[in-house]
Amino acid sequence: MKLVVAIVQNQDSKRLADEFVENGIRATKLSSTGGFLRAGNTTFLMGVEDRKVDETLELIKENCSTRSQTMMSPPSYDFTLESDLTYPVNVEVGGATIFVLPIDQFLQF
């Protein structure tokens, strides 16, 4: 069994959660925040049988899109004339960031 941790954009999370239910993949959905953009995203925790890992990854791939997001650059710490100027920067986010980890024990009491 593997622990699949998938960080996805909020816009994709409902459709993906529906797909997990339809395909018998158990998941826990957490509200999370990206460290860089400081914007909300969604983290799914899934305990997945080894034989279903590929199917799980394929579902995530099919349902998560890459999007471009605009953020303001942090002000520069270089004390030049333009030092406190910020400007819009485009950042590509997603589709999904995924970690697949081995599970030592899976217990339910």
Interface with ligand 2BA in residues 35-74 (CB under 6 A): 35-37, 39, 41
Does 87 participate in binding ligand 2BA (rule CB under 6 A)? no
Does 97 participate in binding ligand 2BA (rule CB under 6 A)? yes
Q: Which residues pair with 5 in a beta bridge?
A: 45, 99
Task: Give the pairing type, strands 2-9 and 28-33.
Answer: unpaired
Does 34 participate in binding ligand 2BA (rule CB under 6 A)? yes
Give the residue ranges of DSSP H helices in 1-109. 10-22, 53-63
User: How far is C-alpha 3 from the chain's CA centre?
Assistant: 15
Binding residues for ligand 2BA, rule: CB under 6 A, are: 7, 34-37, 39, 41, 91-94, 97
